[in-house]
Structure 1
Amino acid sequence: METQTLKQFVSALEEENLDDLRAASSKSFKDKALRLDESAEDLKRLRIPTEDLKVVEVEDESETSKLVNVKIGDATKTIVYRMVKEEGSRKWVVDDIIQKKRHDGNLKVAKKVTEQMDLYLSVREFMQKWSRKNREEIEAQMTVEFAGVMHELPNDYFDHLYEKVGDVESALERFRPEATLNEDTAVVRISRKKGRLDIGMKLVDDRWLVRDMAVESSRDTEYISSMIKSADALRSVAIFLKGYSAADKTTIKEVSEPNFYKNAIMPGELAAVSLPAAESLNNDSRMTIRGDRIDVNIPFNGEIASLTLKSIDRPEGQWKQHGYHVTDVSLIRSGATGENRKLSALLTSKARVDIFHEALVKRDLKTLTYSSSYDFNTRVWKNVDEEILAQLPIDLPKQGKFEIEDIVFNGSVTQVYTLFDEIPITYILREHSGELRIDDVQFPMAGKPNSVKTLLEVVIPAYQFAQTASKSSPTEEIASPKSLKDVQKLGQHYNQIISRMSNVCSFDFNYFVWKETDVVPEPFFNCSEHLETAITSVQPLNANGTEQMIQFGDEHWGAQVKVIQQQGSFRVDDVKLVAGKDVGYDLKIAARDQLNEKGRSLRSIYPLLHLQEGEAMAIETQLAKDFDNQNIEGGNVISSEKGGVVEEYQFSENTPSMNQAPAGNPFKEFAPAQPQSNPIQQVAGWDDFNHQSEKQPASSGIQNSLHEEDVFPDYVPPNKSTSPTTDAGNTRTADSTAAEFPEEFPPLETYPGN
């Protein structure tokens, strides 16, 4: 009986007789493999052998099903027909065909004809419905996620994607599918005259549904690497443009990247800049998928509106959540200029410049920090406090008429040309991920760089040096220590000064001075007076600008400060104080000479000469412990040979200070050698320098604040090596993302004073 059925089935297969095939097949086989009129044609393409078949074995699975092994001619391979008894009759019909084929060269895999035919016919059904352009029928052949995204597309957007797929009828006429089939997923490739069509399928509840499509065309403009991604992105584009046309920021926020919305859309006046209407998508529009980003270009009023979208993570199956957010919008002018204008710059550049200009004139550090790019902050504003900010050589009047004359857009960089009290000022704004920040300010400055960022980066270390030097002299309370506690306080004071000086000074300066001592040399105590004068010039000393000379004051009073770039930032390398024409004094050399002459540690400069020998030894031991705890290096206080009673010791009012030798010293043989004159006087020109009576220029505002135990209570050292030994360089650039800056930039409308 089964042999007769097989012969009928094979004969019908050879003749592509669909009715006879159905007559010899089970209901399951007919539903999965023979449900379409083209099924016989598609079944024959599976190349099932039909000649010289011989039944070699019959294996009963049950009373109603059996496996029939059929040998093909003289070949050794066999085909297995699964046959079942038709319900209500004694007739046996074909329920499936199992072929063993090689996979990946060697592995033999059993493939069921019903699975292959069900897949091919599902693809054919989808293509037939696609060719009829019936959205409801098309979506019925898709997975829930694919259908849901496509369903929410406006008709114009659906038509745009539909046209990209192009002609499918010709592909149906010569249907030659090539499938890669896995357990519950498959990719079917359809060849066409103008490129191929890849259709991704997924088995859902025993039914093959389309989960994605890819279109490869001979024309790049019709290439789509993922239909579901394209549809998801276009859905967001439609919502964004519709919301923009209605000035509905709530709707725009749903499909916008948070930073882009906060920095461009939320503070912007949307009516000031026109974008295409949501219905403007047409055949000339272009879409490009690059990894997790999609660019959509829409022609509009002689320009191209370019929207950049980025995919976001969302739970699987949650297709109602928008899978793409708008991260940037640009208007690109057609023609030779091709000017690229960022929407964030168009909407907020004027407001950003107004806020920054006011903050610059008023020296508002908080607003300057909020308004500046990461690079501007890193190189300038992070390194100043209110005291230094007030002294910076920003030569702008406090009041005046401020006008914006022109704005030039060039991609992520925007130049705003302004006029302030007849001074032409150019503001450079840089955009990154929707965040527009001031990156530099440029205007003419006599004897100095025109770039505010370049100028301030060079001079700030000199102001930090001056600020630290102004606080370096110890207070009267601890300058002449009368107790162990006073000595400890003095050591702490010097340690703070030296620590900050080490951050500000160059490798050479540190090597020459600060790494060699735990006391501050006297030449630093009054040098800040020369650095209070205004900066008159800043000039490069080499071609690449890594060495600069800063001139404070004039030839009669002031200072020349040399700064060099090390580890990505400028450091003070040398300071020459000026107290008259041709009268100069090298601070670094003077400090080194004094250290060589007077000593390099607290215990060598403040010996306990009034103690009896045993008392000195006990105090020496206690001092050593305390100074070690303070990480302050020092030598022996005094040499002693005999013991004594330390409890009876009281510090004398006549304990010597740094500038006074002890009177009546009973241990003269142990006292450090005292020079006949101040060692600083041995430097040529010091007397003239120290007693200079010429009139000093007006001070720029450095004032010695009251000394506290902590000289710099609010000081946080910059990210620099305290004792630099290598030049690592700075890898930060102007393009560094603002998110890397530790301050969180608030929206424009929340800026102080706005």
Structure 2
Amino acid sequence: MKQQVLDRGAATYRCVVWSAGILACVSGCATLTEAEAIEAFVTAVQQADLGALQANTSPSFRQRALRDPQVTEDLKLLRIPAGEVTLLDVRDVSETEKLVTAAIGERQRKVRFRLVRADDGSRWVVDEVFLKQTHGGVTAVKSVGEQLDLLMSVRDILRAWSQGSREEVLAAVMPSVAQLLDRLPPSYLAWLTEHAVGPAPKLMSIRPAVQLDDNVAIVKLPRAHGQLIMSLRRDEQRWLLSDLALESRDASAHIPSLRKLAAVLVAAAGFLDAYQAENKPQLARFCTESLFRGSLQPADLSLVRLPPPVIPPENFEVHLQGSSADVLVSQDQVVTKLTLRRVQDDAATNDALPQYLVEEVTLYELDTGQQKRLSAVFTAHAMVQIFAEGLSQRDLGLLRHASTLDFNQRVWLRADESRLERLPLEAFQQPPRIVTTVFQGAVTEVTVQLADRAATFRLQDHEGRVLVDDVLLPVRSRPSSLKKVLELAITIQEFALALQDGAIDTVRRVSSRDFNRLVWHQLDQVPPHPTSIVQTLLRPVGQVRLWRDTATAVVGNDTFGARVRFVAEAGTHVIDDVVLVAGPAPDQQVSLKAQLREYVTTRRPVRDRPSRIVVVPTPESDRVNTTTADGDRPFAGTRADETSGPLERPPRGGFSGPSALPPSVPPQSEPRP
């Protein structure tokens, strides 16, 4: 009995030992199989043996990362360590997948492998490799398969763009970009691809810098004269080109954005094609509204010839600058520049493409040196006729419509119908006859023949509209600038009417700082004055002289009138003094500012004891019917048959004629021009 018990115990012990041995053998054999799979992969990488790599990796890895024979060179760029493999950790994910961490080589660099069972289930093969990589001080774990897939995609894209067909070029980019490129004529697309990538660089001879983040990647490739920057996005299972930039030390070869460059070429080609076909609805799609409505819509496009939409690449250049672009086309001694403006901002989504519109076309004639803007060619003559009609008919609406903002602000917006009648526009009674036209970029000069003299209309381009900015009219007693003469005349009228209406604020606005400091800022209201001052200042403007910082304008004549002195302040001319003239002698002239200054200093308080201003008598030949501001007595200028009594003498200390000028205030003399 005892022997039977001993035999049973021995049998049980042998069974347990045998079972433990079997388990140990299975575990050790499994670990050995995993180590062999990793060692086989590392050795294949070290020996650049593509066949061995394919034999020791999964179908998924082979499809993603080993589809190109040059992948062995790409693997060298990733710096996968080589040497003896030591397993550090083995974690079962499922019966067919394991995550294994191994230390490789002398430096014991840690690498993580994902292993899966081979198709026959007999062994483990590598399905993915994860490496720690540091970029810009940031360490992250990157997938070797994804990086190899990206590098091979870059190679495929460069090969397609440098050697492939049109279909292959379009297939290598994002669908939205492909739609844009497909709108380009074949010659434009060929130029674009050659200009962007040139001959395909060999990736095995360079070290691209790769930034990979989920489905977005940036790849920088060194070039002979700079670097190529490719932006890629994963679309389902493929990497596709989203944008491209070429940073070059040669400014003419620089490309800030492939998408922008393509959008510019599409807009330029579409504009030229619609222009050549005289298809105005189509033309409106490719240019700004101001250019189309202001110039092209009413124009006869056959009068000006532009280049055809398809041009040999050697005949055009493209320059991108911020939100604008220039396309230069050389043909038959004429350089045509299309200026385009981006109308969609960069804040749009990644799939939103930039849109450019033509805002101006400039023709540079190399033989004559002229610069013709298309907007000016079509509208300059018409605008001259409109402006001239406005002058002859004294039509403020036409004048304001045909004038630049500066001309309007200086003259026409300050005028009304009554003031317009008093302006010196007598030279423009007949329609002008156009003689010559000179184009100088944004400025166009049209010389016309008037009834008795020639005049030059100077026009400026403003957002596609050509508007009159000045008229140069040769007159012996005035500056040639009509705008400056009219500005001075309008200022005199504003000053006179403000005196008449008691508008002290307007008087101050058109007066100089010195005039305001000495007189108008000392008063709360315009002092009572004889209306003959107003009538004198509203007489036609005669001689005008203009210096750098001062100007004078004479109203009336040397025997009866006024000489108005201006100074330049804040970009315009304001009145600094008015000298009332009753004759050529000094004692027949009186300074209004001096008399007002005397009034301010000798009859304080002004607000309590206002006095009337008395001017010099009017000669018999120029007398007009004028009454005092308060209507109680006639003043100088009243006809003798209407005078009810002798002229009222000014009160003591009040205003008087030229004989009352204080010795310290001599009549002002004008500077020599």
Structure 2 distance, partners of 1:425, 1:171, is: 68
Matched, 1:261 2:292: yes
Select which of 548, 563, 568 maps to 1:565: 568
The offset of 1:658, in angstroms, is 9.2
Distance 1:201 1:572, change over 3 A: same
The offset of 1:183, in angstroms, is 3.5
Partner of 2:319: 288
Aligned residues of 2:602 and 2:653 also touching (Cα < 8 A): no
Matched, 1:373 2:404: yes
The alignment yields a C-alpha RMSD, in angstroms, of: 2.8
Partner of 1:678: 651
Partner of 1:316: 349
TM value normalised by structure 1: 0.73
Matched, 1:556 2:559: yes
Select which of 357, 380, 392 maps to 1:325: 357
Partner of 2:544: 538
Letter in 1 for 2:211: T
Structure 2 distance, partners of 1:683, 1:676, is: 8
Aligned residues of 1:102 and 1:108 also touching (Cα < 8 A): yes
Partner of 2:590: 585
Partner of 2:666: none
Distance 1:499 1:216, change over 3 A: closer
- CA deviation map 1:563-612 (0-9, x unaligned): 22223322222112223342223333434555667665676569xxxxxx
Partner of 2:175: 144
Partner of 2:307: 276
The offset of 1:210, in angstroms, is 0.4
The offset of 1:299, in angstroms, is 1.2
> Tell me, what secondary structure is at the counterpart of 1:98?
strand
Partner of 1:236: 267
Structure 2 distance, partners of 1:678, 1:220, is: 80
Matched residue count: 593
Distance 1:281 1:412, change over 3 A: farther
Aligned residues of 1:522 and 1:591 also touching (Cα < 8 A): no
The offset of 1:338, in angstroms, is 4.1
Letter in 1 for 2:448: T
Select which of 122, 136, 140 maps to 1:109: 140
The offset of 1:231, in angstroms, is 0.9
Distance 1:281 1:227, change over 3 A: farther
Select which of 502, 510, 519 maps to 1:504: 510
Matched, 1:55 2:50: no
The offset of 1:91, in angstroms, is 2.1
Matched, 1:91 2:94: no
Structure 2 distance, partners of 1:222, 1:103, is: 29
Partner of 1:698: none
State percent identity of aligned pairs.
Answer: 31
Distance 1:685 1:13, change over 3 A: closer
TM value normalised by structure 2: 0.82
Matched, 1:436 2:466: yes
Partner of 1:746: none
**Which of the pair has the greater relative contact order for Cα pairs under 8 Å at 6+ separation?**
1
Q: Which moved more, 1:270-279 or 1:365-374?
A: 365-374
Distance 1:327 1:298, change over 3 A: same
Matched, 1:199 2:230: yes
Aligned residues of 2:229 and 2:246 also touching (Cα < 8 A): yes
Letter in 2 for 1:560: R
Distance 1:514 1:49, change over 3 A: same
Partner of 1:491: none
Select which of 5, 13, 21 maps to 2:53: 21
Q: How does 1:329-408 map to 2 (within 5 A)?
A: 329-334=361-366, 338-399=369-430, 402-408=432-438
- CA deviation map 1:155-196 (0-9, x unaligned): 122122133135434536746433232333222233445654
> Tell me, what secondary structure is at the counterpart of 2:287?
coil
Structure 2 distance, partners of 1:222, 1:216, is: 8
Distance 1:524 1:677, change over 3 A: closer
Partner of 2:451: 421
Q: How does 1:39-188 map to 2 (within 5 A)?
A: 39-86=71-118, 89-105=121-137, 107-165=138-196, 167-169=198-200, 171=202, 174=205, 176-188=207-219
> Tell me, what secondary structure is at the counterpart of 1:61?
strand
- CA deviation map 1:231-268 (0-9, x unaligned): 11111111100110111111111121222222222232
Partner of 2:529: 523
Q: How does 1:438-477 map to 2 (within 5 A)?
A: 438-469=468-499, 471-472=500-501
> Tell me, what secondary structure is at the counterpart of 1:13?
helix
Distance 1:295 1:60, change over 3 A: same
Distance 1:555 1:132, change over 3 A: closer
Distance 1:108 1:173, change over 3 A: closer
Distance 1:605 1:409, change over 3 A: closer
The offset of 1:21, in angstroms, is 0.9
Aligned residues of 1:594 and 1:679 also touching (Cα < 8 A): no
Uncovered stretches (5+) of structure 1, i.e. residues with no partner: 473-493, 607-656, 661-674, 689-754
Structure 2 distance, partners of 1:298, 1:267, is: 25
> Tell me, what secondary structure is at the counterpart of 1:66?
strand
> Tell me, what secondary structure is at the counterpart of 1:559?
strand
Structure 1 distance, partners of 2:165, 2:141, is: 37
In our comparison, the structure showing a higher alpha carbon Rg is: 2
Structure 2 distance, partners of 1:173, 1:79, is: 24
Letter in 2 for 1:590: Q
Structure 2 distance, partners of 1:316, 1:226, is: 15
Aligned residues of 2:83 and 2:106 also touching (Cα < 8 A): no
Partner of 2:615: none
Aligned residues of 2:35 and 2:85 also touching (Cα < 8 A): no
Structure 2 distance, partners of 1:102, 1:3, is: 27
Aligned residues of 1:556 and 1:579 also touching (Cα < 8 A): yes
Matched, 1:5 2:37: yes
Structure 2 distance, partners of 1:685, 1:40, is: 106
Q: Which moved more, 1:503-512 or 1:410-419?
A: 503-512
> Tell me, what secondary structure is at the counterpart of 2:291?
helix
